[in-house]
Amino acid sequence: MRPWAVPLLSLLLLAAAAAASIAFGARENELAAVVEVLRGGGDAHLQEVIAARWPRTVLGATVGAALAVSGVIIQGLTRNPLGEPGLLGVTAGASAAVVTATAFLGISAGVGTATVWIALPGALLVVVVVYVLGRPSGSPSVVPLVLAGAVASAVLGAYIQAMVLTRPEVFDSYRHWVVGSLAGARFETLWAVLPAVLLGLLLAGVLAPGLNTLALGDDVALSLGAPVTAIRAGGILAATLLAAAATAAVGPIVFVGLAVPHLVRAMVGGDHRHQIPTAVLLGAALLLGSDVVARVIARPEELMVGVVTAFIGAPFLLVAVRRGRAGA
């Protein structure tokens, strides 16, 4: 594709997804009525409905962009096409924090600032523990980190299951949050996670050239004078901030961080300087499009957006596995 075609196509997809997110909901509305509301008139009830869709749309775009860029970074650091943001225990840490707060503090899990301030520190704390456990020798290899993340996720997963099974009130609250949903989104939630998202995106942009160097292999990167350890530490921090903020805001949403990087590489190649901005646009478009499908596919009810992204992302996982086998 021509250099200008990719960002233009990505912007068009994002604009179309955002427009659909504002126009369509669990209950069918005439497009003419929606346009009338956007012009400042129309039915009072529809005005309230459209007003509620604005924070949902903006938060969904932010979360989709954060998960997509986090996936690009994780796959770049690990050189693993099956890498995703939960690889280092981010999702498990956020989930364990929410379960603990629900069980012992009586806080209801859901889309809100209370959940954000519980899940975000939990995710960051677990990644710090994983980093400490996985880097005792200062080796530049990322394999010990991945193994430590798998151990942490397994332990926390067992803890979560124990709490959910022994405390029915935890299960009732947690089962809605853990699927991932944009229902009830508010701008307050966005403001709570936005600093972490912006810092993560800034770090990702700064580290993009370094990620390109790491793609050549650790030995080559070291011979070129690249600070491999610093690049990996910065990349892990950026990916953690992005994935933790997204998970804290709307709950765990699967496959966005796995599927979008594959699509981005197919469009722009392996240069992370091009992958990251493209992932921002396509990740936002994918999550918004999935949320629109979740709203309209089971009218007058709506599905959790995490269910839809799982169905959309599963084919990408199968393709990645097949390509991995073909290249072996």
Residue 179 or 17, more confident:
17
Share of the chain above pLDDT 90, in %: 32
pLDDT in tens, 175-207: 777 888 888 888 998 998 999 999 999 999 999
- What is the DSSP track for 49-99? HHHHHHHHHHHHHHHHHHHHHHHHHHHHHHT-TT--GGGGTHHHHHHHHHH
**What 8-state DSSP symbol labels residue 263?**
H
> What is the pTM assigned to this prediction?
0.90
Query: What rounded mean pLDDT belongs to the chain?
Result: 85
Does residue 324 carry a pLDDT above 70? Answer: no
Q: Is the pLDDT of residue 47 over 60?
A: yes
In the structure encoding, which two tokens stand for residue 328, read together?
Answer: 């072996």
CATH superfamily of 5-36+53-327: ABC transporter involved in vitamin B12 uptake, BtuC (1.10.3470.10)
User: Phi/psi zone of residue 86: left (φ > 0), alpha (ψ -120 to 50 degrees), beta?
Assistant: alpha
**CA atoms lying within 13 Å on the CB side of residue 225:** 0
SS3 percent helix, strand, coil of the chain, rounded to 5, is: 80, 0, 20
Domain boundaries, the chain: 5-36+53-327
Q: Which residues of 4-41 are buried (b: 16+ CB within 10 A; e: fewer)?
A: eebeebbeebbeebbebbbbbbbeebeeeebeebeeee
pLDDT per residue over 230-273, tens digit each?
A: 888 899 899 999 999 998 888 888 889 888 998 898 888 889 99
Residues 6+ apart with CB under 8 A from 278: 6, 7, 10, 264, 267, 268
